[in-house]
Structure 1
Amino acid sequence: MIINIPENSDFSIHNIPFGIFSTEDRSPRVGVAVGEHILDLAAVAELDVFDFNTAVLEKDTLNDFIALGKEITKRVRKNIQHWLQDDHSVLAGKPELFVKQSEAQMHMPVYVGDYTDFYSSIEHATNVGKMFRDPENALLPNWKHIPVGYHGRASSIIVSGQAIHRPKGQTLPNGANAPVFGPTQRLDFELEMGFICGKDTQLGDSVSTKEAEDYIFGLVLFNDWSARDIQKWEYVPLGPFLAKNFASSISPWVVTMEALEPFRVAGPTQEPKVLPYLEYEGAKNYDINLEVDITPNGGEANTICHSNFKYMYWNMAQQLAHHTVNGCNINVGDMMASGTISGKDENAYGSMLELAWMGTKPVQLKDGSERKFILDGDTVTMRGYAEKDGKRVGFGEVSTKVLPAK
């Protein structure tokens, strides 16, 4: 092996995720995570080993690289895997091609032109329905027929490590007749994953479930921040607005669909039967372990949630097929988030709304404090990895600190 990869590293030889990094002497550019290091692909290109226009590797987003198409991006990934395992490859004896991750700054991996958030976990949708509507009829009549989603704000998607300020807006206090304005008192995270579109379509075209994975480049961890009290007041009749558009945080490394191939699993049985355009063949869910930590300011990390991406009722192929069935066009870099990923057990709930059951069951932390929702100074960290037959493919983390309202 050209470079040492620690055991149980998220960034094993089986992974090779792509991202954008910079250092004091290297401008933002394309790299891949290898263990605790980053392989600088712009520097590798100077060895004249690639058969495409390598100017795309010097860009500050992955969009142009992704737009080359999977025939090229898959070959780049396979070449890197081969070179890393060959002690006589083009990478041998060239430590200058590698940068320690600890010495690099990570940037938004893609320019996100459009962002859609889905609502595709039946466990999450059921929990929310029980709390806010009818415990006996928690799901709305359309939920098992369409992958529910809404168009979110792309400009406020940020990369791991960037802090956010507590948002402000209108809320309606219990028993009040008129709304008040101020910082949210119910700031929440939502444990999600997001996929990045890898091909453009034209207005009027649609993508089938059979074709969908050709249009997905890879995935990131996604924390879709939410202000629950603002949301409760504003979401009728048109859905999320200020309660959601203030920030969403993503992990910096994009894990390719090819890296996730060994971790395919069957999804839940969908009843009633879906309409023909949403039908699909094969295993379209992915066994990816997920967890969430809360770290109080200056305190110790507390893992409060263990969930898994395999729980999703609506899979990514169905989401993309539904999104485009009416002719809506997509572009390289567009991001689509899964919606909160909750499991059947209480410790697998993917939001504070569920974990603390709307504040009635506070979550106890190690320092003796409790959380109904996220407090100023708290840092929320999400991690994810898939593991099978000695292969580990991870996403690293998305970590965000909450600062007081401005």
Structure 2
Amino acid sequence: MNVTWLDLADDTPFGLDNLPYGAFSVAGAPARRIGVPVGDRVLDLTAAAAETAAAFAPLLTAGVLNPLLAAGPGTWRDVRESVREWLTEPRYADRLRPHLVPLTEVTTHLAFEVADYVDFYSSEHHALNAGKIFRPDTTELPPNWKHLPIGYHGRAGTVVASGTPVVRPHGQRKPRAAEAPSFGPSQRLDIEAEVGFVVGVPSAAGTGVSTADFADHVFGVCLVNDWSARDIQAWEYQPLGPFLGKSFATSVSPWIVPLAALEHARVDGPPQDPEPFEYLRTAGKQGLDLTLEIRLNGHLVSSPPFASQYWTAPQQLAHMTVNGASLRTGDLFASGTVTGPEREQRGSFLELSWGGREPFELPGGETRSFLEDGDEVVISATAPGPGGTRIGMGEVRGTVVPG
């Protein structure tokens, strides 16, 4: 860990090896600023860049990260190196201390304006579990599953900041035993613990982005809760896939961790058989060893491992552009539900309760199959850092309120 003039705990998840980015405001000053959490404080990066007359200061005045995202890897590197210098060189201490705000005093916001949102279905364990729950007579994956990363386009306008209440959605539902559909609030409201990737540099229409060019376009990583109304989804999804059962809310964590902070978290992806088409092939360590934690009303209910994802983020990016679809600054694509091989590693309540047939127990004797009004879900994650440290990904939270 770098020596700093700040008083940082050795085990802080927001040390100098992390330095994620987000948007925040403080009471009495509603204008949104760009910030970097460091220990238990946030460096007002908008003010710090102006104070030091940094060349990139104009990129930090919009209240969202998009201008910085669009500037590309060279600028991303310059900003990161500058922040590390500011926080390690004592000559900056007196100038920057006034721009450090306690984390407890900030309100975080959606860090970037979302251009497009794509969600994938890339955990083999999740796909197998879902198949067994919905089709108990089969144990097979869909025939295309190991040939391409399956995904769908979501609704960018309902991607919301962590902490935004989630209103229970209404829609059509038809349980298997019912003779006809009915309309009303979802009775099977669920979560999906996911990892999101934020695009910075756009691509030209008509050209694909190779797996090798992933880091030239993708800025960083966040956490995603893809809230899902399973009963609405089950009735509507044939033949065009998810729609109203997904589009009511997708929550995103406030801090975007740059790819540069995750070098020590890189791992090989799982073996892929059959060998993918050439445009999906990768070299080197393309997976990420992130450990997620899902808490319901403060109680840990699952710890999904992201390293077990079958399809990696570079493969997802290559697939979503191979037809010539262009990238835009602010595009968000998510991994799909992160689920491991063990029961305590399942990334959705659908799996934890096995479709509602096996409710799981909470401390105090309560049980859950799906979400009830008033329930709060918090998803957090960490990753390996240098020297045995842990990089904090922050958390994404949301509370269910009645429709």
Query: TM-score with structure 2 length normalisation?
Result: 0.96
Equivalent position amino acid for 1:398 in 2: V
Match of 2:81 among 60, 78, 81: 78
Match of 2:180 in 1: 178
- What does 1:243-262 align with in structure 2 at a 5 Å threshold? 243-262=245-264
Equivalences for residues 137-156 of structure 1 within 5 A: 137-156=139-158
Decide which of 376, 394, 397 is 1:396's aligned counterpart: 394
Task: Check 1:274–1:94 CA distance in 2 against 1; reply closer, same or farther (3 A cut).
Answer: closer
Cα distance change, pair 22–352 in 1 and its aligned pair in 2 (3 A): same
Q: Is the 8 A contact 1:118 1:338 kept in 2?
A: yes
Question: What letter corresponds to residue 119 of structure 2 in structure 1?
Answer: D
What is the alpha-carbon distance in structure 1 between the residues aligned to residue 383 and residue 93 of structure 2?
Answer: 28
- CA apart distance, 1:25: 4.2
Which is further off, 387-396 or 248-257? Answer: 387-396
Q: Is the 8 A contact 1:188 1:351 kept in 2?
A: yes
For residues 372 and 42 of structure 1, what CA distance do their matches in structure 2 show? 44
1:55 to 53, 58, 63: 58
**Gapped runs of 5+ residues in structure 1?**
296-300
Give distance in 1, aligned partners of 2:98 and 2:61. 16
The CA distance in 1 between the partners of 2:339 and 2:137, in whole Å, is 17
Q: Which residue of 1 aligns with 2:370?
A: 373
State the match for 1:364 in structure 2. Answer: 361
Aligned positions, number? 398
Unpaired stretches in structure 2, ≥5 consecutive residues: none
Q: Secondary structure at the match of 2:275?
A: coil
Contact 2:72 2:217 in 1 (8 A): no
CA contact (8 A) 2:71 2:201 kept: no
**1:206–1:324 Cα contact (<8 Å) kept:** yes
| Alpha-carbon offset, residue 93 of structure 1 | 5.2
- 1:293 paired residue number: 295
Q: What secondary structure is seen at the aligned counterpart in 2 of 1:46?
A: helix
Equivalent pair of 1:192/1:338 in contact (CA under 8 Å): yes
**In 2, are the aligned partners of 1:290 and 1:308 still within 8 Å (CA)?**
yes
CA deviation string 1:295-330 (max 9, x = no partner): 0xxxxx210001111111000000000000000001
Between the aligned partners of 1:118 and 1:38, the Cα distance in structure 2 is 32
Name which of 309, 314, 320 aligns with 2:311. 314
Matched, 1:283 2:288: no
Matches of 1:349 and 1:8, distance apart in 2: 27
Range moving further from structure 2, 42-51 or 325-334: 42-51
Match of 2:129 in 1: 127
Deviation of the 1:65 alpha carbon: 1.2
How far 1:137 moved relative to its partner?
3.8
Alpha-carbon shift at residue 203 of structure 1 (Å): 1.0
Query: Which secondary structure does the structure 1 equivalent of 2:127 belong to?
Result: helix
The letter for the 1-side match of 2:228 is S
Displacement of 1:396 after TM fit? 1.2
Please give the alpha-carbon distance, in whole angstroms, between the structure 1 residues aligned to 2:137 and 2:394. Answer: 37
TM-score, reference length from structure 1:
0.96
The reply on whether 1:38 has 2:35 as its aligned counterpart is no
Number of the residue aligned with 1:108: 110
CA distance in 2, matches of 1:15, 1:45: 19
Q: Distance in 2 between matches of 1:138 and 1:166?
A: 32
Aligned alpha-carbon RMSD (Å)? 1.2
The CA distance in 1 between the partners of 2:364 and 2:228, in whole Å, is 25
SS of equivalent to 1:43: helix
Secondary structure of the residue aligned to 2:79 is helix
State the percentage of identical aligned residues.
43
What is the 5 A alignment of 1:199-348? 199-295=201-297, 301-348=298-345
In terms of mean alpha carbon deviation, does 359-368 or 255-264 score higher?
359-368
Aligned equivalents of 2:261, 2:96: Cα separation in 1: 26
Q: Which amino acid aligns with 2:345?
A: A
Counterpart check, 1:13 vs 2:11: no
SS at match of 1:307: coil
Please report how far the alpha carbon of residue 94 of structure 1 lies from its aligned counterpart in structure 2 after TM superposition: 3.6
Q: CA deviation at 1:372?
A: 0.5
Contact 1:362 1:372 in 2 (8 A): yes
Paired residue secondary structure (2:336): coil
For 2:400, give the aligned amino acid.
Answer: V
Whether the aligned pair in 2 keeps the contact of 1:129 and 1:135 (CA below 8 Å) is no
CA distance in 2, matches of 1:232, 1:373: 15
Equivalent position SS for 2:392 = strand
Is the 1:294–1:380 Cα contact (8 Å) retained in structure 2?
A: yes
State how far apart, in whole Å, the 1-side matches of 2:75 and 2:147 are. Answer: 37
Q: Name the amino acid aligned to 1:175.
A: A
What's the offset of the Cα at 1:135?
Answer: 4.6
What is the one-letter code of the residue matched to 1:392? R
Q: 1:68 aligns with which of 71, 74, 77?
A: 71
Q: CA–CA distance in 1 between the matches of 2:201 and 2:263?
A: 19
Provide the secondary structure at the position in 1 that maps to 2:234.
helix
Partner Cα distance (1:165, 1:221) in 2: 20
For 2:260 and 2:388, how far apart are their aligned partners in 1? 17
Deviation at 1:12?
1.1
Q: Provide the secondary structure at the position in 1 that maps to 2:128.
A: helix
Deviations 1:190-211 (A, max 9, x none): 0101000011111101100111
